[in-house]
Amino acid sequence: MIRLAIQAKGRLNEESVEMLAEAGISVEQSKRKLLSRSEDFPLEILYLRDDDIPQAVSMGVADIGIVGLNEVLENELEVEVIHKLGFGKCRLSLAIPKGDEYTGLEYFNSKRIATSYPVILKRYFEQKGIVPEIHKIAGSVEIAPTVGMADAIFDIVSTGGTLISNGLREVERVISSEAVLISGKALEEDKLLIVRQLISRFEAVERSKGKKYMLMNIPENRLKEATSILPGVKSPTVLPLAQSGWCSLHAVVSENDLWSKIEQLKLIGAEDILVLSLEKMIP
Ligand code: PRP
């Protein structure tokens, strides 16, 4: 049994639970229950505030955790990023009142900057040789310039909607972040085995994202061209058909390329093309 810490509420909570569900791990969700057990995987979930997750993992209260990379970098604790999860993508940016003229980083010299991420920001400005006044506030950072608490802010930006609603303009992207799986000090062998199984399930989910399964009938003499249209495929499956001179070709394609591939395949005689959704890809 391993204990995984995830965010109790907020964006990463929903996406973490969804990722677990896609990996075949269901967890009981209740607003009041802060610890729950999965019925179908040796996993216990501990629901915490996101900024407490690195500490819980470094102390061994939880074996692993799902948290934004921004929290890992801010907390500077002894945790290791063991897998990038690809969801919860955002950036940590500097933003100023939209009417202010911005000529470069010197703008921030002696300026008051409100942020919940003072460690990351201090490190960044030290490298750049700029000396602002950094003020730590726990939340509602974007309102600080309007109410006179700060001249600028440093915070998470995802869609940019919060900045716009608060009359701010993003001027510097400092770091990119996404949800990551972290682990603390060396885990015992039985726990490591479970963590490896978990990561392998996550990878199967990630691999199938944005992918489709295609089947088509193709004249045998065009098979070579068909396989060159599907370059991402290591070895497409080719099955004989009852009708001589024809075969059935199966391949996995990226959703982005789907229509262009279909058009190219039709030009070389592909018929009866079926496109199916892909659940999991396990190598
Ligand atoms: C974060 C962040 C911003 C907002 C930016 O808050 O603090 O306020 O997202 O997102 P946007 O660019 O899509 O508008 P979040 O809603 O995650 O909650 P928090 O207050 O707990 O940080």
Same domain, 191 and 53: yes
CB 245 within 8 A of CB 220: yes
The DSSP symbol for 26 reads -
**Is there an atom of ligand 1 within 6 Å of 162 CB?**
yes
Q: Whose CA is nearest to atom 2 of ligand 1?
A: 156
With helix as H, strand as E and coil as C, how does 152-201 read? EEEEEECCCHHHHHCCEEEEEEEEEECEEEEECCCCCHHHHHHHHHHHHH
Name the residue of 52, 162, 164, 168 whose CB sits within 8 Å of the most ligand 1 atoms, as the mutation to test its pocket: 162
Same domain, 223 and 270: yes
- What is this structure's pTM? 0.85
Asked, for residue 53, whether it belongs to a domain, the answer is: yes
Verify that 215 and 199 share a domain, yes or no.
no
Task: With beta carbons less than 8 A apart as the criterion, state whether 28 and 36 touch.
Answer: yes
Q: Is residue 282 part of a domain?
A: no
- Nearest atom (ligand 1) to Cα of 11: 17
State the residue range of the domain holding 239.
210-277
User: 161 CB less than 6 Å from ligand 1?
Assistant: yes
Residue 4 CA, ligand 1 centroid: distance in Å? 24
Are the beta carbons of 43 and 24 closer than 8 angstroms?
no
Considering its fold, how many domains does the chain have in total?
3
CATH number for the domain spanning 165: value is 3.40.190.10
Q: What is the pLDDT of residue 249?
A: 93
Claim to verify: residue 147 and residue 192 sit in the same structural domain = no
Judgement on whether residues 170 and 104 belong to the same structural domain of the protein? yes
Q: Which residues pair with 274 in a beta bridge?
A: 215
Domain boundary among 135, 160, 177: 177
Which pLDDT does position 233 carry in this prediction? 56
Q: Report how far ligand 1's centroid is from the alpha carbon of 3 (Å).
A: 27
pLDDT in tens, the chain (283 residues): 999 999 998 889 999 999 999 999 988 877 677 899 998 999 999 999 999 999 999 999 999 999 999 999 999 999 999 999 999 999 999 999 999 999 999 999 999 999 999 999 999 999 999 999 999 999 899 999 999 999 999 999 999 999 999 999 999 999 999 999 999 978 999 999 999 999 999 999 998 888 999 999 999 999 999 988 986 656 788 999 988 999 999 999 989 989 999 999 999 999 999 999 988 888 7
CATH number, position 271 = 3.30.70.120
Nearest one of 42, 87, 55, 54 to 196, comparing CA atoms? 42
